[in-house]
Structure 1
């Protein structure tokens, strides 16, 4: 099946924004489907990839002439390759004073953001794309029935479009994209050290970030750890889930948790060669939690929303895996990789909901079972991962 037949939930937001802004910028990790999406939604627009050396040289050497060739309704892909082009784009759109001029797309979010930061106000809307969400695959009848197979396969579009083995895809992805991009951005002489670092990060998915421990185990400085984490975060590979400590007068953990955007990449970095290996892996629960939380972040991205997602943990070890704050309402979620319902899953949820006067209707267990049971005024609910 080709990716063009898989509807992306971000489509509606993207189409609406381009009608009201002269520029829309679409960012996201490599191979998450940006080019495919843009070509599908805007078939009558010109498409120029600045990965192409010929186009890149013209745009670099004579930007005014380059823009005269593409005055409007053009998609510039990998636009961060020519950062000086942005100031000329700014002048050009000011002269035209209309909407629907350019769509900019790029994989290295931080370079792209730095380039457009000076000209963004009132001119450019920004959206983040990521790999498929659970609901996108479910709607396309492509969601794996087996939770372990789903976790191991991951959510990168190419796996579902061209059917490569996930094991082969992720090994190539790490070499071709992650390590190459990092080498271009940072002068890393020994990529084996970086590879060790990202594997150690995968082994800590769902855990409190400890930069000193990572530095010691990798054999690098804490400053380098923070730099490499920033690269992975801004290029759409990992994200940090912050703790929630507003209005809670207790001693709380204030370091973030580390997660990856894609569970399949985590499994590959952990050395898994088939989905059966995840069934008894010590990190199975953490990988399931990773998928659930990253899926919520993706869904927010696709709606053009900032995800108000956190975790909560006090100094006594009482913890909530996911806290979502929306419209002055707090929702609590416990995440369990078990496929069997168990009332013990509500122990922490009930304690915290009682302590902070949170309605039982706003507490749920997210689990790997098949059935969803909505919360009631007197009891929390169970949400199947397939309905998340």
Structure 2
């Protein structure tokens, strides 16, 4: 098994970004490959490059004491890793980016979304481009490794682990570090034990409509508390909160979001699943496929303007993408031979879908109806939306 996976599309996006804007941010979960990608950007950069790793206390102290001097006098490519650890930098970066004599461009690496970073009084709106860095995609690892990617997830070290035991050890270390160091590093006062319990519980609710009251009762905490836990995990890219699509159709519609663990490997680790045989026998088998196929679809076609659709009477669409003024629908079915359903016909009519694809684990692409196609997940990147 090769020990590195080229990520040429992400590299191209990052390199193009720093040619177009004074600041580019690589955003994604910890250990997802941002630092490796930044190193490759620096290697492709024609001039000098400087790296500030805010995980290093001395570096963090230096930038916190004299940030304007260091950044204003910098030249070439300046990489700032784990930027969420020093939110005050954003106040300094704005005037630096606006300086007509600026000699540097900035590449920021963050493991938390801007919404979670406290104390930012200035923004970089109009001065920054974002590159979302997810786990490995099927296009990157190769379709022949679909099951391995599904069971292990897309974190590089998890996917490349030499054995199932090594994968499990990495997952144990990652989850412990995330709860005990990363979350407190954001200034959160939530105890690691409470958030860990919520995370494990959420694995059993993977792919379901959010119900804060129900989860709060299960944990014996308030709905406000579980909403805060959810926001912490969403803001650190551990879960995806998929919003509902609703418009005035004269129907009673579901208006709560659906929640997924973004990485299938973390889902399986929290559920105690270690291989495909165990997964196939687990009650969350179908939900696991839905979340995995959803993430691969969003990696291939972008996560902007992505929704699910559901009515109170049971009609539902797993994923609705709005692209270039058209509506495209996706259903994710873990079956050998997908079939059309009454619900599919209803959502096509309700939403005016251009086409609906039923994404499944097989190999054959074939029409189910004039406007419905069964599509193997391995071909998801071939679609032109």
Flag whether TM exceeds 0.5 (same fold). Answer: yes
SS of residue paired to 2:79: strand
Once the two structures are TM-superposed, the CA of residue 28 in structure 1 deviates from its matched residue by 0.9
Higher mean alpha-carbon deviation, 6-15 vs 72-81, is at 6-15
Residue equivalent to 2:21:
21
**Is 1:196 aligned to residue 197 of structure 2?**
yes
Which of 186, 189, 204 pairs up with 1:187? Answer: 189
After superposition, the C-alpha distances for 1:332-379 in whole angstroms (9 at most, x for unaligned) are 2221111x2243x343212332455545xx012111111223677x25
Residue equivalent to 1:155:
154
Is the 1:363–1:375 contact (alpha carbons within 8 Å) kept by the matching residues of 2?
no
Q: Hey, what's the Cα distance between the residues in 2 that align with 1:357 and 1:298?
A: 24
Structure 1: segments with no counterpart, 5+ residues:
none
Is the 1:106–1:112 contact (alpha carbons within 8 Å) kept by the matching residues of 2?
no
Which of 56, 62, 66 pairs up with 1:58? Answer: 62
Residue equivalent to 2:383:
none
Residue equivalent to 1:265:
266
Residue equivalent to 1:87:
91
Q: Hey, what's the Cα distance between the residues in 1 that align with 2:108 and 2:351?
A: 45
Higher mean alpha-carbon deviation, 319-328 vs 29-38, is at 319-328
Is the 1:23–1:104 contact (alpha carbons within 8 Å) kept by the matching residues of 2?
yes
Residue equivalent to 2:377:
385
Residue equivalent to 1:336:
333
CA RMSD of aligned residues (A): 2.4
Structure 2: segments with no counterpart, 5+ residues:
381-385
Residues 1-388 of structure 1 correspond to what in structure 2 (within 5 A)?
1-3=2-4, 5-43=5-43, 44-67=48-71, 70-97=74-101, 101-110=105-114, 118-138=122-142, 143-145=144-146, 147=147, 149-161=148-160, 163=162, 165-184=166-185, 185-189=187-191, 191-301=192-302, 306-338=303-335, 340-343=336-339, 345-354=340-349, 357-359=352-354, 362-373=355-366, 378-388=370-380
Q: Hey, what's the Cα distance between the residues in 2 that align with 1:73 and 1:287?
A: 40
Is the 2:318–2:331 contact (alpha carbons within 8 Å) kept by the matching residues of 1?
yes
Change (3 A) 1:99 1:68: closer
Once the two structures are TM-superposed, the CA of residue 161 in structure 1 deviates from its matched residue by 4.2
After superposition, the C-alpha distances for 1:216-235 in whole angstroms (9 at most, x for unaligned) are 11122111111111110011
* Higher relative contact order (Cα pairs below 8 Å, separated by 6+ residues): 1
Change (3 A) 1:115 1:25: farther
Once the two structures are TM-superposed, the CA of residue 275 in structure 1 deviates from its matched residue by 3.1
Once the two structures are TM-superposed, the CA of residue 292 in structure 1 deviates from its matched residue by 1.3
Change (3 A) 1:326 1:374: farther
Once the two structures are TM-superposed, the CA of residue 243 in structure 1 deviates from its matched residue by 1.4
TM-score, normalised relative to structure 2: 0.88
Q: Hey, what's the Cα distance between the residues in 2 that align with 1:276 and 1:79?
A: 41
Once the two structures are TM-superposed, the CA of residue 27 in structure 1 deviates from its matched residue by 1.3
Aligned residue pair count: 372
Is the 1:152–1:274 contact (alpha carbons within 8 Å) kept by the matching residues of 2?
yes
TM-score, normalised relative to structure 1: 0.88
Change (3 A) 1:134 1:115: farther
Q: Hey, what's the Cα distance between the residues in 1 that align with 2:149 and 2:25?
A: 30
Once the two structures are TM-superposed, the CA of residue 89 in structure 1 deviates from its matched residue by 2.4
Is the 1:153–1:166 contact (alpha carbons within 8 Å) kept by the matching residues of 2?
yes
SS of residue paired to 1:312: strand
